Amino acid sequence: MQYELTARPPMQPVDETVIARIPSMTRALAMCQSLSGLDDKSFIGEGGVVKDAAQWSRIMNSGQHNFPQDQLNKLMDKAGNEVPMLWLMHSRGYDLSSLRHRETEMERRLRLAEEALARSEQKRAALVEALSGRLAA
């Protein structure tokens, strides 16, 4: 049994105006690959998005074959950008500038620990200042 890692690699930012000019999901998939700088072979075969080169070619070049929707996350992770998802949201009328990532449990723990550390540092600085004032008097 193999478990999927929930951590995602950092994604390359893509300008909203670029997304707005993409005419179709097929072109969004092609843009996703293009921005990655990876060749077709990176998305084909074991560990890829599709099993064979002919299927990939039919998806990307002619639109004669449908992209396997369950592989969309894998495509974006491998490519390092989220162009297809952003295109879909834009095509459905969402404001891309107001989107934000949801905080993971690990990110929440880290944020809380950093906040607690900052509060402790403030208290320490206040104590040092108070003690320095007493010693000078």
Residue from 22, 23, 60 nearest 39 by CA: 60
Residues in the chain: 137
Q: How far apart are alpha carbons 107 and 112 in whole angstroms?
A: 9
* pLDDT tens digits along 1-18: 565 555 667 888 899 999
Task: Centre a 10 Å sphere on the Cβ of residue 63 and count the other Cβ atoms it contains.
Answer: 14
68 and 84 Cβ atoms separated by less than 8 Å: no
- pLDDT for position 104: 86
User: What pTM value is reported for the model?
Assistant: 0.71
What is the band of 129 on the pLDDT scale with cuts at 50, 70, 90? confident
Which sign, positive or negative, has the C-alpha torsion 119, 124, 127, 133? negative
For helices 72-79 and 25-36, the axis angle rounded to 10 degrees is 30
Structure tokens at 32: 């996703």
pLDDT tens across 63-72, in order?
678 899 999 9
Cα–Cα distances in angstroms (integers) from residue 122 to residues 35, 98, 114, 134, 135, in the given order:
45, 33, 12, 19, 20
Residue 115: predicted pLDDT: 96
